[in-house]
Amino acid sequence: MLADVHSHLDQDPAAALGRAQSNDVGIILAAAIDLTTSRMNVSLAEKYSQVKACIGVHPWRADLFTPETESAMAELIKKGKVTAISETGIDVMRRRSDDFRTELAPLPLEVQLEAFRAQVGLAVNRNLFLIVHDRGASKEILKVFDQFMDHPPRGIIHGFLGSVDEARQYRQRGFLISINKRNLPAVNPVLETLTLNEIVLETDSNEPAHVADTCDMVASLKGVTKAEVAEATTENLKKLLESCV
């Protein structure tokens, strides 16, 4: 069985989930970008057993995060279907318009930090894990993690594009490194240093069935079978899920 730890199910989810099932994708973490998609993900998790609901405000939309947003997220968590805060993080490299056609300047760092700190706090206080968006901001993200040393955050670094050293720092804190095919071969040097027990797979798309392609590529790069990659990465996610029960 395969698992996609980062999929956006906002376009015909029933059809996408059907295709995923046909490709043996048994666990799908539905990522949110705002409160609307957070609510949608909770509804999908209530309807489809393979979907794990995630809620969160994307760093490109951190200026929309308010105390009211945080309260609404806390209420969603109370429903019992929320698995993780996803996605949240910091991005100092880029930002796109809602239609993805226009490149925008990143939001001010302090705006992003405020939203990120609050969402890390939600995860830590509610026994959830994080799926973190990091673009050029590992130092800032790790500093936020340091503010929660009594209850260290855990989770996944989504669509990893950092250095070997940055991957090592995240691994030392217990975070899994998520691989998607768009980031290969850019992260091949990082992947070479990681074992199968340290990674998970994702699509970062509306098509979780395509996680099978990521699995094929990782298997080829690591010199192992697709079955070995699928088994290891899915087990890694299952252990993380079990840690939050």
Percent of the chain with pLDDT over 70: 100
What's the mean per-residue pLDDT of the chain?
96
Structural domain count, the chain: 1
Give the burial string for 106-124 (b: 16+ CB within 10 Å, else e): bbeeeebbebbebbbbbbb
How far is Cα 140 from Cα 144, in angstroms, rounded to an integer?
6
Task: Look up the CATH number of the domain holding residue 126.
Answer: 3.20.20.140
How far is Cα 60 from Cα 88, in angstroms, rounded to an integer?
9
What is the per-residue pLDDT across 160-179, written as a single tens digit (0 to 9) for each?
A: 999 999 999 999 999 999 99
Residue 97, pLDDT score: 82
Q: Residue 101's pLDDT band (boundaries 50, 70, 90)?
A: confident
**Is residue 100 pLDDT above 80, yes or no?**
no
Read off the amino acid at residue 169.
Q
Residue 94, pLDDT score: 86
Structural domain including 139 reads: 2-242
For the chain, give the secondary structure using H, E and C. CEEEEEECCCCCHHHHHHHHHHCCEEEEEECCCCHHHHHHHHHHHHHCCCEEEEECCCHHHHHHCCHHHHHHHHHHHHCCCEEEEEEEEEECCCEECCCCCCEECCCCHHHHHHHHHHHHHHHHHCCCEEEEEEECCHHHHHHHHHCCCCCCCCEEEECCCCCHHHHHHHHHCCCEEEECHHHCCCCHHHHHHCCHHHEEECCCCCCHHHHHHHHHHHHHHHCCCHHHHHHHHHHHHHHHHHCCC
Section 220-241 average pLDDT = 97
Residue 31, pLDDT score: 98
Q: Residue 245's pLDDT band (boundaries 50, 70, 90)?
A: low
Contact 55, 30 (CB under 8 A): no
**Is residue 119 pLDDT above 80, yes or no?**
yes
Q: What is the pTM of this model?
A: 0.96
Percent of the chain with pLDDT over 90: 94
**Is residue 183 pLDDT above 70, yes or no?**
yes
For 71-89, give the secondary structure using H, E and C. HHHHHHHHCCCEEEEEEEE
Give the orientation angle of helix 138-146 with respect to helix 164-172, to 10 degrees. 10
Dihedral pair phi/psi, residue 200, rounded to 5°: -135, 170
Section 200-219 average pLDDT = 97
